[in-house]
A = this chain, B = another copy of it.
Amino acid sequence: MSHALILLAHGSRDPRWKAPFESLADTLKDRRSTPLRMAYMELCEPSLEATVQELSESGITRADILPLFFAAGRHLREDVPGQITALGEAHPDIELTLLPPVGQHPAFVDALAGIIDERAGD
């Protein structure tokens, strides 16, 4: 089984918004032996659809989708699951799994707390 990871970010009309995500993905790609892709929900390329199609065509049979979101709102509870269901029907050869957003991870909250203490002083 060939396994990939898709990092999913929201997307923005501002072309500069993408830069930190692309930079994060580049850093992580160097550390991983399996395919990692950065994809965007809207307003930026590549889309989740294009990314799943590309992975599927290159023989990947399983992709986990990790949302780079602080919290789950309508996008992650409704839009993205709907998109993933449709993608699963269009590409039955690839198994897609939506992971919880990174913002729900305790290490994420700890990192935020540390940054806030450092940035803001007291």
Contact = CB atoms under 8 A, between A and B. Distances in A.
Interface of A: 5, 7, 9, 12-14, 16-21, 24, 27-28, 31-34, 64, 66, 68, 70-74, 77, 99, 102-105, 107-120, 122
Given A13-B73, A20-B70, A73-B12, A109 B27 contact: yes
Contact of A112 (B5, B14, B102, B115): B102
Contacts of A113: 24, 27-28, 31
Contacts of A109: 20, 24, 27
Contact of A74 (B14, B32, B103): B14
Given A5-B120, A32-B122, A33-B122, 13 more contacts: A13-B73, A13-B74, A16-B73, A17-B71, A27-B113, A31-B113, A66-B120, A68-B70, A99-B120, A107-B111, A107-B115, A107-B118, A108-B112
